[in-house]
Chains A and B, each alone.
Chain A
Amino acid sequence: MIARAAALDRRIALALALGALALGLLLPHVLYVGLATDIVIWALFAAAFDLLLGYTGLLSFGHAMFFGGASYVAGLLILRAHWSFFPAVAAAVLAATAIAALVGAIAIRRQGIYFAMITLAFGQMLYFLANQFGDWTGGQDGLQNVQRPTLIAGIRLDNDTLLYYIALAAAVLGVASVLRVVNSPFGRVLSAIRENEPRATSLGYRTSAYKLVAFVLSGALAGLAGALFVIAHRFTSLDTLDWHTSGEVVIMTVLGGIGTVFGPLFGAPFYLIINDRLSTLTTSPGLVLGIIFIIVVSVFRRGMIGELVYALRRRRHVEHVAPGA
Chain B
Amino acid sequence: MLLTATRLVKEFAGFRAVDGVDLRVPAGATLAIIGPNGAGKTTLFNLLSGFVKPSAGSIAFNGNDITELDAASVARLGLVRSFQITSVFPHVSVRDNVKIALLAKHPQARSFWDSASAADFLDEPADALLDKLRLSAHADRLAAELPYGRKRALELAVTLALDPLLLLLDEPTSGLGTEDVDPIIELVAEAAQGRTVVLVEHNMNVVERLAQHVVVLQYGKVICEGSYASVHDDARVVEAYLGGIDA
Contacts and interface: CB of A to CB of B under 8 A. Distances in A.
A185 B108 contact: yes
A63 B81 CA distance: 37
Contact of A185 (B95, B103, B105, B139): B103
Interface string A170-204: 00000000001101111111011001101111111
A292 to B, nearest CB: 30
B119 A185 contact: yes
Given A186-B111, A186-B112, A201-B71, A192 B89 contact: yes
Contacts of A191: 89, 92
B109 to A, nearest CB: 5
Contact of B104 (A2, A181, A183, A204): A204
Contact of A196 (B49, B81, B89, B141): B89
A136 interface: no
B91 interface: yes
Main SS of chain A's interface residues? Answer: helix
Nearest to A5: B140
Contacts of A188: 96, 99-100, 103, 116, 119
B241 interface: no
B112 A206 contact: no
A114 interface: no
B111 A185 contact: yes
A207 interface: yes
Contacts of A183: 115-116
Contacts of A199: 83, 87-89, 158
Nearest to A195: B89
A195 B116 CA distance: 18
Contact of A204 (B108, B114, B162): B162
A195 B72 contact: no
Interface string B135-169: 00001110000000000000000100110000000
Interface string A134-153: 00000000000000000000
Contacts of B118: 184-185
Given A195-B91, A199-B89, A217 B100 contact: no
A236 B7 CA distance: 62
Nearest to B78: A204
A187 B115 CA distance: 10
Contacts of B73: 204, 206
Contacts of B2: none
B101 interface: yes
Contact of A205 (B92, B95, B104, B116): B104
Interface string B103-140: 11100111111111011000000000000000000011
Contacts of B140: 1-3, 5
Given A2-B93, A205-B72, A196 B88 contact: yes
B75 interface: yes
A184 B115 contact: yes
A13 interface: no
B133 to A, nearest CB: 17
B113 A180 contact: yes
Contact of A198 (B51, B76, B114): B51
B90 interface: yes
Contact of B72 (A189, A196, A204, A217): A204
Given A189-B103, A198-B87, A205-B104, A184 B113 contact: yes
Contact of A217 (B76, B90, B112, B119): B112
A318 to B, nearest CB: 15
B80 interface: yes
A103 interface: no
10 contacts: A2-B140, A184-B112, A185-B103, A187-B116, A189-B109, A191-B92, A195-B92, A201-B71, A202-B81, A206-B72
Interface of B: 49, 51, 70-73, 75-76, 80-81, 83, 87-93, 95-96, 99-101, 103-105, 108-116, 118-119, 139-141, 158, 161-162
